[in-house]
Amino acid sequence: MKIEENILERARLWTGNNFDQETRKQVEHLIQNDPTELTESFYRDLEFGTGGLRGIMGVGTNRMNKYTVGMATQGLANYVKKMFPGETPKAAIAYDCRNNSEFFARTTAEIFSANGFQVYLFESLRPTPLLSFTIRHYGCHTGVIITASHNPKEYNGYKVYWNDGGQLVAPHDTNVIEEVQNITDVSAINFDKKPELITIIGEETDKAYIEKLSTLSLAPETIQKHKDLKIVFTPIHGASVKVVPDLLKAFGFEKVYNVPEQDIPRGDFPTVISPNPEEPEALTMAIAKAKEVDADLVMATDPDGDRVGIAVRDHNHEFVLLNGNQAASLIIFYLLTQWKAKGKLQGKEYIVKTIVTTELLREIADDFNTECFDVLTGFKFIADIIRRLEGDKTFIGGGEESYGYLIGDMVRDKDATISCAIIAETMAWARENGKTLYELLIDIYVKYGFYKEKLISITKKGKAGMEEINRMMDKFRNHPPAAIDGSKIVVIKDYELSMEKDLETATETLIELPKSNVIQFFLEDGSVITMRPSGTEPKIKFYFGVKEKLNQKEDYEAVAQTLDNKLNRLAESIQQV
């Protein structure tokens, strides 16, 4: 394979004196021996997006390494200093279990210190929500966690937060990107670290986090009565290994079992195919442990501890996995029920969900006369709502279908730590009322309607694939069908055009959300179809939501099959439009 001259030229720059000896050696090896890897490593710059960096680790401009992390940190430091002139800037740094995470975190801390920042660096791995808490706890201007969430083991990432503890949103997201792009040479990175500006933090911060989250328990007396409820928890080799069990115990649960093999922090995730709690395989060992100890509940968090997957016993005492929409529905129903029982609903409370998350959450909120906000996909938008309404309204909880939830506003990102505790508390409350979590979920369906969802993701290869997806979106946008699966489309929401069209009344309403290339069809029978292409790869996601009346719990299986059939028909129909 012949190496393109421009790629070879980019690579040769990395053999110069601005780079350390090991980097130069590795690049020389690629030039001499591996043209394919050289091309992949240098054909472009690793993109600093609105959330930060994410990529395969290795040398090169298109890889996660000391220098790409350094350029990102220098650009971020430059922007923070511009935004807070005259102040001593502060930054909090955390990292998860992935290979090189500690090295990247220390590199980030040292560059911040070289730029005059007071830095708070965790002594060892910690979950993402704890980093969000830490930013606000220490009054930091920004924060970074080194994580690639549930990506394959070859990846790592660099996730950026602002002073409210939330991920970057407008205008800071694009402004930081611009500053990072201005760092065009590694000579612009200040590596002259100042160790005296770096404070190592650890258990004292964990303790503050656990103490704050403990105040969110709504039924300590119920937990005390059911403290023997058996829970199996696994961090899948990740950063929640200590904090989730600690919070469960602080809530009052006494029988928390672990999966010893998965308590060991490992960046290669040796016991699972993928460390993603959305994948059933990732919970296999935990479910086996639960059967061994006759547990009631299984919970598994992803490597950076912001998402949680759960398994519960069904009516046959077998474990079944709940999806993100089901878990979110249980959480929100429990929270609102308890807030109402305690007289805490005063009319200024609200929940938040993303536009692709089940409409059941809105049904529940409406029943409790509680406002429900819709936001674009991405938890940073939920955090932005909390920030904008702070002091005027009270955030109870929120979530998204991809297994991320938040209770209370002490953290400004999805938080598997408090989610695990509240899920366990919900189970204790259900038991107090003579039910299992599975039975409680079916009761919710009987009360509000049986909602079921399906996601399909279609990848089209290369440039031609991206163009095909663009044509698909153009057709949905400009030539939508009149009906799908025999049900009329009654409302179309186009988030790129910021317009909601009611086809029944021929009226249009402005959508007051940031522009995004997303289209939703609302059908006469209550079904919802959402089309959302990726902005970075030739992939398009279709989200389907359907509902039927569930008159009695005995009809659950039959109605579930009806909904599954309907979801499959919708998935077939939309691909033929």
On the CB side of 504, CA atoms within 13 Å amount to 7
Coil, helix or strand at residue 63:
coil
Contact of 520 with 493, CB cutoff 8 Å: yes
Distances (CA, A) of 200 to 119, 171, 194, 197: 8, 31, 13, 10
Cα dihedral 363, 369, 374, 375 sign? negative
CA atoms within 13 A on the CB side of 205: 25
101, 149, 487, 516: the catalytic one is 149
376 and 348 Cβ atoms separated by less than 8 Å: no
For 386-416, letters b (16+ CB in 10 Å) and e give: bbebeeebbbbbbbbbbbbbbbbbbbbbbbb
In terms of residues, how long is the chain? 577
Task: Say if strands 255-258 and 90-95 run parallel, antiparallel, or are unpaired.
Answer: unpaired
Phi, psi of 475 (to 5 degrees): -65, -45
Question: Which of 150, 204, 474, 427 is closest to 299 using CA atoms?
Answer: 427
Which residues, in sequence order, are bridge partners of residue 122? 201
- The identity of residue 486, as a single letter, is G
Take residue 60 and report the two structure tokens written for it. Answer: 């090169």
How is the chain split among helix, strand and coil, in percent rounded to 5?
Answer: 40, 25, 35
Q: Determine the Cα–Cα distance for residues 240 and 275; give it in Å rounded to an integer.
A: 13
CA 367 from centroid of its chain's CA atoms: 28
Token pair 């009344």 in the structure block, residue = 505
User: Do the Cβ atoms of 321 and 310 come closer than 8 Å?
Assistant: yes
Contact criterion met (CB below 8 Å) for 282 and 216: no
Q: Hunting for tokens 């009516």 — which residue is that?
A: 315
Report the candidate in 42, 71, 72, 75 with the shortest Cα–Cα distance to residue 56.
Answer: 42
Give dist(CA 474, CA 517) in Å, integer: 10
Distance of CA 314 to the CA centre of its chain: 27
Give the pair of three-digit tokens for residue 170: 């407008």
Q: Are 76 and 160 in contact (CB under 8 A)?
A: yes
402 is catalytic: no
Tokens (6 digits) for 418 = 């408090």
Greatest CA span in the chain, whole angstroms? Answer: 74
Q: Are 552 and 467 in contact (CB under 8 A)?
A: no
Report d(CA 21, CA 211) in Å as an integer.
46
What count of other Cβ atoms lies within 10 Å of the Cβ of residue 246? 19
Q: What is the CA radius of gyration of the chain?
A: 24
Residues with catalytic annotation? 149
